[in-house]
């Protein structure tokens, strides 16, 4: 089993749709979790950190389910500019983020 | 804003050449990282450094070495470039448990 698994997609959705991505991780002792966004031919950028209580930032909601070992990202009212690859990232270490485990990413295309 | 810069956006080298990729960050971060990113394989960690002159191997260190003589600068060295090292190389920096900030990447082609 891969350490971090994501559905590669692509997810093709119309503008205004709600879309959700899941990511599963294998190490039950993992400490912290992130969603990064990567546009085509650009570097990854942090979208959200994922807290145990779940967190929301505008149209984006991230949730963590430790019992089932998955994190999710929900995007509401999708915009054309949301088209990108979304990377799920897991930190297995307490106290530092020196070796993060990166998923391969889920590709999202928002269509007019 | 944190800024991570990389010396080149595009680089073309020949097999057997020695290649230097430079990365500089301006936020006094303790940690610096070198990744490569390939289609279908995602981001893979080559080396990282958590302090000046300190380095640790990542998941794929073979064929690479690194140097961190100053806190703000982390260099990746390909001693003898090979075609299978054609890739996108991404440098990142971070402090503690906080997010990693990435440079724009260097697309290296080895002919």
Q: What is the pLDDT tens value at each position of chain A, 112 positions in all?
A: 679 999 999 999 999 999 999 999 998 888 889 999 999 999 999 999 997 878 999 999 999 999 999 999 999 999 999 999 999 999 887 666 678 899 999 999 999 9
User: Looking at residue B101, what is its pLDDT?
Assistant: 93
Give the residue with greater pLDDT, B2 vs B39: B39
Q: In chain A, what residues touch B49 (CB-CB under 8 Å)?
A: none
User: Looking at residue A92, what is its pLDDT?
Assistant: 82
Q: Using CB atoms, which residue from B45, B96, B97 is nearest to A99?
A: B45
User: Looking at residue A95, what is its pLDDT?
Assistant: 65
Q: Using CB atoms, which residue from A91, A95, A103 is nearest to B42?
A: A103
Say if residue B18's pLDDT is above 80: yes
* Residue whose C-alpha is closest to residue A1's, from A26, A19, A23, A22: A26
* Residue whose C-alpha is closest to residue A33's, from A9, A60, A2, A55: A55
User: Looking at residue B61, what is its pLDDT?
Assistant: 97
pLDDT per residue as tens digits for the range B49-81: 999 989 999 999 999 999 999 999 999 999 999
- Residue B18 CA to residue A37 CA, distance in Å, equals 33
User: Looking at residue B86, what is its pLDDT?
Assistant: 98
User: Looking at residue B57, what is its pLDDT?
Assistant: 94
* Tokens matching residue B17: 């050449």
| CB within 8 Å: A32 and B103 | no
- Residue A59 CA to residue A49 CA, distance in Å, equals 15
User: Looking at residue A33, what is its pLDDT?
Assistant: 92
Nearest CA in chain A to B48: A98
């Amino acid at each position: 089993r891969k350490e971090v698994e994501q559905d590669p997609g692509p997810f093709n959705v119309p503008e205004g749709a709600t879309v959700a991505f899941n990511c599963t991780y294998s190490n039950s002792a993992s400490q912290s979790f992130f969603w990064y966004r990567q546009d085509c031919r650009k570097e990854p950028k942090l979208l959200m950190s994922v807290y145990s209580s779940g967190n929301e930032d505008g149209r984006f909601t991230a949730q963590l389910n430790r019992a089932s070992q998955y994190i999710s990202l929900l995007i509401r009212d999708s915009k054309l500019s949301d088209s990108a690859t979304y990377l799920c990232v897991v930190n297995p270490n307490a106290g530092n983020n020196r070796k993060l485990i990166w998923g391969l990413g889920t590709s999202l295309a928002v269509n007019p | 804003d944190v800024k991570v810069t990389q010396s080149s956006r595009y680089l073309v080298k020949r097999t057997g050449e020695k290649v230097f990729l430079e990365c500089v960050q301006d936020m006094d971060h303790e940690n610096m990282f070198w990744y490569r990113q390939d289609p279908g394989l995602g981001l893979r960690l080559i080396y990282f450094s958590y302090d000046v002159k300190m380095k640790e191997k990542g998941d794929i260190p073979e064929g690479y070495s690194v140097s961190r003589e100053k806190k703000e600068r982390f260099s990746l060295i390909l001693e003898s470039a090979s075609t299978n090292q054609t890739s996108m190389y991404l440098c990142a920096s971070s402090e503690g448990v906080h997010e990693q900030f990435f440079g724009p990447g260097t697309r290296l082609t080895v002919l």
